[in-house]
Structure 1
C-alpha cells in the first residue's frame, strides 16, 4: 500500500446492466497506485426469493486486495443469510415484497441481517485468508460502502471512508458518513481498546477506524469484535424510496478526495443529460478525478432510478459547442506561438484555466474536458506527443518520490524527518547538480513541511 507509479495506469474495467426498474453502470481505474486494490459488486435480483431486490457495493482495499476481493464475492450471501429477521418476520417491507411467498422482512430485520453479515464475514475471513503454509493472518483490509434496494426502501451501508450519495430532486438527498479515527465516537472506542490516534490515524498508521480485515488491529483481549481498535460494524441507514429519487453514486475515497458530494451529483446529473451510456458517465467521473489530482485507485458505481435525468437536445448542443470552442482556443494558442516552439500541453491547460469559459460541466470544470483539449493539441502538434508525455511522466515521477518520502515519515519516522527526506531527495537529484553545491541548500529543502501531503495513503 502507499507506493506510486511514475505514470498512471488509465485502463478501465467497466460494466453495466438493468433490472427491477433500475439501470446501473460502473468503472474502475488503477491510477497512480502500484496495485489495484478496489473491488465491487452489482447484483440485480437477489437469492432466497428476493427477486425484486438489488445490491451494489464498492470495496476499497488497503495493504493488499485479498479482503476486498473476498468481500465482493461473499458479503452479499453473508448479509442475506445473516439473521432470521432478514429472511422474513413480517411487519415492515410491504405486502408481497421478497421472501418467495413468506412474510416480507421488516426494516429492523434487514438492518440486523446486514450488521450480522458484516460480523460473520469478518470472522470467517480471519481464518480462511490465513496462509496455509506459514499460518500468518493476511494483513490487508477493506472499506465497504453499499446500497441494498427493496421495492420500498433504500438501505445505505457504510464501513470505512468510502461513500454513498443519493441524488433526489436534483440535489444531495443523503450521504453516508466517513469513519475516521478523529471522530469523537471512533476515538473513544480506539482509546478504550488501548490504542491512540496520532496524525489522524489509528496508532499513527491506519487512516480508517472501521474496516473489514485489518486483523492486526483486532486482537485486543477482553474486547468484542465491535470494540476493537478497528471495528467491522457497519452503519446502516434506511430511507423510504420516493418518486423524486434520481440516482445513487457509490465511490471509494479516490473519488471523494477531489470532489465533494454536491460536485459529484452535479457532474453526474449533467453527464446524464448528454449521454445515455452509464459506463461512459462513470468513465468521465474517473477520468475527471484523475485530472483533478487524485492519486488513489478509483471506483464508482452509478445506479439510476426511473426519474434520473434524461438526454436533452439542448444539453447535447451546448456540449458540442463547448468542445468546438475549446478546440478553437487550442488552435489559437498554437497559431500565436508563430515560429517559436509551440507551447506544451501543460501550458495550454494553465492558460485555459485562467479564462472564464462558459458552460463547463458543473462539478467537473476544465478537468472534465481535458480529453477534448488533449486530442486537439495532439492533432495540431503530433511531433510533441512523445515530448509531452515524457515531460508529464518526469514531473509525475518527481512528485511520486516526494510523496513517498513524506508517507514514510508520517508512518515510520516521526522524529527523523530531516534524515528521511534528505536520503530520498539525494536519490533523485538531477544529473546537472554538482558536488560544489552548498550543503545549506539541502538543509533548506529538508525543513519541516508547511502542510500535510495530499491524499496520504492508508
Structure 2
C-alpha cells in the first residue's frame, strides 16, 4: 500500500509545448511517497502517415514499482499505432475511406471505430509483450500501472482509461465529460473478479490491489482458462469518443489519483480555470495544482497534464489584480502575527488556523482555499522565523544522517 517519507520531496518535473492548435503543460512530484512511480507521455504529431495533426497525452500511475509505468510512457503509443496495424491487417488502425479525397494516394484518416479498436489492441499487446520481460517472468518485479490518456484528432477526442487515474473535459465553463474509475467494488468489475475466482475485500482485489484494471500486475493475471480481459485484473481500456466543439472546448485535465483523492472533477476544473485567468504559464498552473493538492492532504505521487484548447480562459487584468491583493493581504496578516512582541513565535499550524478564521479575508481561489496560498504564507514565515538558521542546520544534519544510513 506504499510507505511514506518523513518530509515530502517537492522537486517537480515540468514540461510544456504547443502545436496542432493547442498548448500543454505538465507537472509531476514525488510528494510523501518513498519512490516516484508516476510517468507521463506528451506527443504533438503522431508518427504515422496522415496523423501529424493528431496529439497524444497520458498519465501512468505505477504501483509496487515504476517499471511498468516508465515502459508504457515510452512505448504504449507505438504499440497502439504499430501493433494494432498488425493485429487488424495491413490497413488496420488507418482503415477508412473518403470519397472526397482529391488524391487517392494520400493517407486516409482512420475511422472512429478503427481508432477505438486500435487503442484496445495496443493495450492488450503491450501488456502481453511486457509479460515476457525477465523481471516479470521470474517474479522479481510485481509492478503495475494505471493509464489514462487522450488521443486528439482534428474532429474527435478519444478518452482512454485503464485504472483509477482520470481525465476530464471542461467545456462551456463546466465539466462536460469524465472517464470512469475502475475500482474493484464497481458491480461489473466485481463480477469479473469473482468469475476469475477472486474476491473483493476492503474494496481491493483479494484484499490487496485497489484497482481492477491495470497494465502489468501479472500476479493477478494467471487464471487458467481465462483470457486477458477475464482475469482478476484486466489490461483492457475503456475508450470514449467525444466530438470536438472548437468554440466551446476549453481544456482537458489528465491526472493520477494523488490529485483526485483531494479534489473532485468540478473542484479541480474550477481551480484551474481561476489560475488560467491569472497566468498563461501552464507549467506554473500545473505546479500550483500539485502543491495545492499536497497541502490539502494528498500523500501520494502527483502528476497532472493540462491541455489548453483555443477557447481556454484568458488572463484577466481584474483577476491578476485581485490575486495580487490577496497575496499582499496574506503577507501583511502573517507579518502581523509573527511580529507580535511578548508572545511565543507561532508554528505554521497556528498561523494557518488563525488565517482560516479571518472574516476579513478576500475571496480565496475556488476549491484551493488557503492550501493554494501556502507558498505565499510560508515565504513570509520563513523570512521572519528567528529560528530559521537553527532549523536549516538541523535539516542539514538530518540529511547527512540519512545519507550515511543509505551507504
What TM-score results when the alignment is normalised by the length of structure 1?
Answer: 0.81
**Aligned pair 1:72/2:66, yes or no?**
no
Give the deviation of 1:103 after TM superposition.
2.4
Number of aligned residue pairs: give it. 386
User: Residue 296 of structure 1: CA displacement?
Assistant: 0.3
Structure 1 residues 151, 322: CA separation in 2 closer, same or farther (over 3 Å shift)?
Answer: same
Matched ranges for 1:264-343 at <5 A: 264-335=268-339, 337-343=340-346
Q: Secondary structure at the match of 1:376?
A: helix
Within 1, Cα distance between the matches of 2:38 and 2:312?
Answer: 27
- Give a deviation string over 1:421-448, Cα, whole Å, max 9, x none: xxxxxxxxxxxxxxxxxxxxxxxxxxxx
Q: Secondary structure at the match of 2:135?
A: coil
Q: For residue 276 of structure 1, report the CA deviation from its aligned partner.
A: 1.2
Deviations 1:143-194 (A, max 9, x none): 0000000000000000000000111011111110100000000000000000
Larger displacement relative to structure 2 (54-63 or 350-359)? 350-359
Structure 1 range deviating more: 101-110 or 262-271? 101-110
CA contact (8 A) 1:126 1:137 kept: no
Number of the residue aligned with 1:29: 29
Q: CA deviation at 1:385?
A: 6.5
**CA separation in 2, counterparts of 1:331 and 1:163?**
40
1:87 aligned onto 2:87: no
Taking only aligned residues, the RMSD between alpha carbons, in angstroms, comes to 2.1
Q: Give, in angstroms, the shift of residue 340 of structure 1.
A: 2.1
| 1:367 equivalent in alignment to 2:371 | yes
Paired position in structure 2 for 1:119: 124
Tell me if the contact between 1:61 and 1:140 (Cα under 8 Å) persists in the aligned partners.
yes
SS in 2 for 1:121: helix
**Secondary structure class of the residue paired with 1:180:** coil
- Shift, 1:384, TM fit: 4.3
Structure 1 residue 130: deviation in Å? Answer: 2.8
Q: Which runs of 5 or more structure 2 residues have no equivalent in the other structure?
A: 399-407
| 1:107 maps onto 2:112 in alignment | yes
Deviations, residues 309-340 of structure 1 (Å, cap 9, x unaligned):
111111100000000000111122123x3222
State the SS of the aligned residue for 1:101: coil
Aligned to 1:422: none
Name the CA shift for 1:260/1:180 in 2 (closer, same or farther; >3 Å). Answer: same
The structural deviation recorded for 1:104 is 1.8
Structure 2 distance, partners of 1:95, 1:216, is 50
> In the TM superposition, what are the counterparts of 1:244-255 in structure 2 within 5 Å?
244-255=248-259
Identify the residue that residue 166 of structure 1 maps to in structure 2. 169
Structure 1 unmatched ranges of 5 or more: 395-458
Distance 1:389 1:278 in 2: 35
Could you tell me how far apart the structure 1 residues matched to 2:241 and 2:388 are? Answer: 54
Give the Cα–Cα distance (whole angstroms) in 1 for the partners of residues 32 and 291 of structure 2.
12
* 1:177 is aligned to 2:183: no
Could you tell me whether the CA contact under 8 Å between 2:30 and 2:302 is conserved in 1? Answer: yes
Q: How does 1:184-199 map to 2 (within 5 A)?
A: 184-199=187-202
Counterpart CA distance in 2 for 1:238 and 1:263 is 24
Q: Is the 8 A contact 1:86 1:112 kept in 2?
A: no
Q: Is the 8 A contact 2:136 2:218 kept in 1?
A: no
Alignment partner for residue 350 of structure 2, among 344, 347, 352? 347
CA distance in 2, matches of 1:327, 1:315: 18
Aligned residues of 1:246 and 1:309 also touching (Cα < 8 A) = yes
- 1:248-274 CA-to-partner distances (Å, cap 9, x unmatched) read 000000000001100100111111111
Q: Hey, what's the Cα distance between the residues in 2 that align with 1:239 and 1:220? A: 35
SS at match of 1:329: helix
Contact 2:184/2:203, CA 8 A, preserved across alignment: yes
Bigger CA drift: 355-364 or 287-296? 355-364
Quick one: distance in 1 between partners of 2:328 and 2:301? 32
Q: 1:288–1:343: structure 2 CA closer, same or farther, 3 Å change rule?
A: same
Q: Does 1:261 align with 2:265?
A: yes
Provide the C-alpha distance between the structure 1 equivalents of 2:93 and 2:262, rounded to a whole number of angstroms.
40
Q: Which moved more, 1:295-304 or 1:358-367?
A: 358-367
Per the TM alignment, residue 100 of structure 1 is displaced from its structure 2 partner at its CA by 8.4
- TM-score between the two structures when normalised by the length of structure 2: 0.91
